[in-house]
Chains A and B, each alone.
Chain A
Amino acid sequence: MKIKNIIVAFFLLLATWFLLNGKYDLTTLGIGIMLSLFISLVFCGKCEIFSEMNFSPKGILYFFTYIFVSLGELIKSNFDVARRVVSPSLPINPGIVEVETKLKSKLGRMILANSITLTPGTLTVKVEGDTFFIHCINVEHTDIEGATKDIVKKFEKYLEVIYG
């Protein structure tokens, strides 16, 4: 599935090129297509990051839903942490818990770990196969099942569809 990998990388690079340029004329388009094609052919032929993605309509719909869900979680997490920092008694209850994921693809796991770091009071400390070690600012469940349900499930249901 190297063709799919190269095509996705090509369009990503082209979009970045246009965003950085800010111009939409024919010369920019030509140079951008040449550069993106060259870079994606040389550097993205061997890596297999994007070949795991699912580009069916449902996958794309879930992708955009996932962006909005994670942005909402990001804003919630910021207010949560800000409240804990400002309040005089410092209401924290920290600890490192263990969770498990069902995701198989590498990119999916990376995005899941990133999202966990951006959600309310959780920080991925270590990834070992299926197991994530997560530092929580406020521990609610110390067992694996409860912590997984709390932290991972809300992202996993979208990422499962996007990354198969």
Chain B
Amino acid sequence: MNEIIEIIGAVITLIGAIFLFLGALGLVRMPDVYNRIQTGTKATTLGTMLTLVGIGIIHLDWYGKILVLIVFVLVSNPISSHVLAGAAHYIGIPLSKRSVVDKMSKKPVLTVKKQTNITETSEKEETKQN
């Protein structure tokens, strides 16, 4: 009986690992930052969840900690990718040429007062590099 449970857990962990691999493949194949963040969020969320569930099936007494971990991944993963994408658009990284529409660039993206400071420091850095 124990062996069967271990095999089921191992198979679920393997499926999770496959999803994590697909996420990594997407990072290489996608054309721009935003699409890379997409694959990095989606495939890795389910991959991490399945890996944790597989471990939880093998070690049944860890289920509480694994449940807390899954909730943490589900809450923190979208927030971090949202902030990364917002920051990428804020500093003006362009979308790939295959993109259809960009509603955000019509409005002024830079609204923070420190805008001038940022450009000044970046100019200073550029002059240093030169």
Contact = CB atoms under 8 A, between A and B. Distances in A.
A95 B103 CA distance: 8
B113 to A, nearest CB: 17
Interface residues of A, number: 38
A119 to B, nearest CB: 9
Nearest to A86: B22
Contacts, number: 126
Contacts of A18: 64
B45 A78 contact: yes
A96 to B, nearest CB: 5
Interface string B43-72: 101100000000000000110110110000
Interface of A: 16, 18-22, 74-75, 77-78, 80-82, 84-86, 90, 92-98, 113-114, 117-118, 121, 123-126, 133, 135, 137, 139, 142
Given A118-B74, A121-B38, A135-B85, 6 more contacts: A82-B43, A84-B26, A85-B29, A85-B39, A123-B82, A125-B86
